[in-house]
Amino acid sequence: SMDMKDMDHDKMKGHMSHDKVISLNDSTGENELKVPTLLARDHEKGIVYTVKAQKGKTEIFDGTESETYGYNGMFLGPVLRFEKGDKVKIRTINELDEPTTFHWHGLEVSADVDGGPHDVLKPGEEKVLEFEVTQEASTLWFHPHPHGKTSEQVYKGLAGLIYIEDDHSKGLGLPNDYGKNDFPLIFQDKTFDSKKQLNYSAAKNEDGTIGDTLLINGTLNPKLTVNKEKVRLRLLNGSNARNYTFKLNSGDSFLQIATDGGFLNEPVPLQEITLTPSERAEIIVDFSSIKKVNNLALINEDGAVLLPFEVTDQNGVNRKIPEKLNDFSLEDNVMHLPVTKKVELFGMMDMVTINGKKFDPERIDFTQKQGDTEVWEIYNKPDMMGGMIHPFHIHGAQFKIISRDGKDPSKNERGWKDSISVKPDEKVKIAVQFKHKGVYMFHCHILEHEDNGMMGQIKVE
């Protein structure tokens, strides 16, 4: 049994204390990392993309096929690249045998195109969405949101990335050669059954499904070949429930340059970074300055090898990462606003609640005025067993962290966020503003918690 020290350590590092810890297998590095395709536009004018939710079979392990879902393919999805100012039209099509929705996580759009649980497309249905991209350069993502089925549909493979670029980001000189020195990394842990097939119902855990096998961009046992240069990695924790603390096995540091919704003001040197489900971070690893590149790998806090790197002898471009990347600020007047919304996260398994209630699609939990900034306090109320981290997410808005338990957020959290980790007994204050109107969700991003009703609704008017 665990002594108190282990419990504290686990809590701090973000393991679930309710459950036994399932560690990840080491990647053997036998497969080169798959890189999602960049989705081509159907037309330049009006910018029409087609995004289809599809089902099919995927050979994840050689020789056996799993039943999987994907966008415009059989597993995972393409990258949609927008520019700030684009007027985007997306034709969404549901080719599954069950209802689904198309949710754009982190995108500041009006609620009628946000793709929450109210926006269901039945099998065979399609809908054209139109919106303008008004936010700054960032790495966002998209996934389904049908209430009670989100966890299963994401687990089966429905997830893709959105890149936003703007004039500023294009002038920074950051690595941006897609698939060469700028890679998306979608981390998802899965469990495979004795036939080496993906089987959600067998793997499912009401408290968050954790697997022992990591897929990155859907690649089993991945490795990544890079040149001796600065490489940008866009990390997405796309897992149902697992938290990761990423580091290099050489002990070298890297630079974090972006949070969920945009660039940090300056690059933050880190030796490790924790991401809870749905959080993103962009980091720069300088493979030209790392001395020992033999057996170099990205590892998890417990030492599990996630992504071995093969560093070629080729030198890449010798670029300088700018010291100033953004002008994000926490205005004094916002810092001192009173708390006007309180969110209490509580429970485990299927007994999870927000402010003592479960999700009810007919109930509006909060209202807020379009354009107003309000301070929300998110409290993770511990239970008798200590509790667990809940990653808290709000739709339709990028927000700012004001404080964690009264203290300033760490340097690498001083940037736009749409999801935050909230530790047991922790109180996090955030400044939230919605640019658009309508009914948006806020919820725990452990997908089984969300499906079990750890979700509320805010009406912006």
Binding site for ligand C2O (CB under 6 A): 103, 105, 143, 145, 278, 393, 395, 441, 443, 445
444 in contact with Cu ion (CB under 5 A): yes
Q: Choose among 256, 226, 230: nearest CA to 319.
A: 230
The nearer residue to ligand C2O, 135 or 221, going by C-beta atoms, is 135
280 in contact with Cu ion (CB under 5 A): no
Spell out the residues 6+ positions from residue 331 whose beta carbon is closer than 8 angstroms to its own: none
The nearer residue to ligand C2O, 224 or 455, going by C-beta atoms, is 455
Among 105, 147, 427, 436, binds Cu ion (CB under 5 A): 105
15 in contact with Cu ion (CB under 5 A): no
417 in contact with Cu ion (CB under 5 A): no
| Contact partner, 444, from Cu ion, ligand C2O, none, Cβ < 5-8 Å per class | Cu ion
The nearer residue to ligand C2O, 238 or 308, going by C-beta atoms, is 238
Residues of the chain by 3-state class (helix, strand, coil), percent to 5:
10, 45, 50
Residue count, binding to Cu ion (CB under 5 A): 6
The nearer residue to Cu ion, 69 or 142, going by C-beta atoms, is 142
Radius of gyration from C-alpha coordinates of the chain? 21
What's the min distance (Å) between Cβ of 104 and ligand C2O? 9
395 in contact with Cu ion (CB under 5 A): yes
What's the min distance (Å) between Cβ of 443 and ligand C2O? 6
* Per-residue tokens: 4: 């108190």
Separation of alpha carbons 85 and 20, rounded Å: 47
Separation of alpha carbons 287 and 167, rounded Å: 27
Got the DSSP string for 390-402? Answer: EEEEETT--BEEE
Separation of alpha carbons 436 and 329, rounded Å: 21
What's the min distance (Å) between Cβ of 393 and ligand C2O? 5
Spell out the residues 6+ positions from residue 385 whose beta carbon is closer than 8 angstroms to its own: 17, 18, 348
What's the min distance (Å) between Cβ of 447 and ligand C2O? 9
The nearer residue to ligand C2O, 111 or 270, going by C-beta atoms, is 111
Separation of alpha carbons 156 and 154, rounded Å: 5
Sign of CA dihedral 264, 269, 275, 280: positive
The nearer residue to Cu ion, 29 or 106, going by C-beta atoms, is 106
Among 446, 447, 455, 460, binds Cu ion (CB under 5 A): 446
| Contact partner, 278, from Cu ion, ligand C2O, none, Cβ < 5-8 Å per class | ligand C2O
The nearer residue to ligand C2O, 143 or 234, going by C-beta atoms, is 143
| Contact partner, 143, from ligand C2O, Cu ion, none, Cβ < 5-8 Å per class | ligand C2O
Site for Cu ion in 363-392 (CB under 5 A): 390
What's the min distance (Å) between Cβ of 444 and Cu ion? 3
Q: Which stretch binds Cu ion (CB under 5 A): 47-55, 104-112, 126-134, 376-384?
A: 104-112
Order of strands across the sheet that contains 419-422: 366-368, 455-460, 438-444, 390-394, 419-422
Burial of 360-378, coded b for 16+ CB within 10 Å and e otherwise, reads eeeeebbebeeeebbbbbb
What's the min distance (Å) between Cβ of 171 and ligand C2O? 30
Beta bridge partner(s), residue 94 = 53
Name the closest residue to ligand C2O (Cβ).
105
Separation of alpha carbons 446 and 29, rounded Å: 28
Amino acid at 89: K
* Per-residue tokens: 384: 């008798």
| Contact partner, 145, from ligand C2O, Cu ion, none, Cβ < 5-8 Å per class | ligand C2O
Name the closest residue to Cu ion (Cβ).
444
Amino acid at 275: L
| Contact partner, 232, from ligand C2O, Cu ion, none, Cβ < 5-8 Å per class | none
What's the min distance (Å) between Cβ of 188 and Cu ion? 17
The nearer residue to ligand C2O, 156 or 223, going by C-beta atoms, is 156
How would you classify the pairing of strands 48-58 and 66-71? antiparallel
Please tell me whether residue 329 adopts helix, strand or coil conformation.
coil
The nearer residue to ligand C2O, 208 or 316, going by C-beta atoms, is 208
Q: Choose among 450, 400, 408, 404: nearest CA to 423.
A: 404
Binding residues for Cu ion (CB under 5 A)? 105, 390, 395, 444, 446, 449
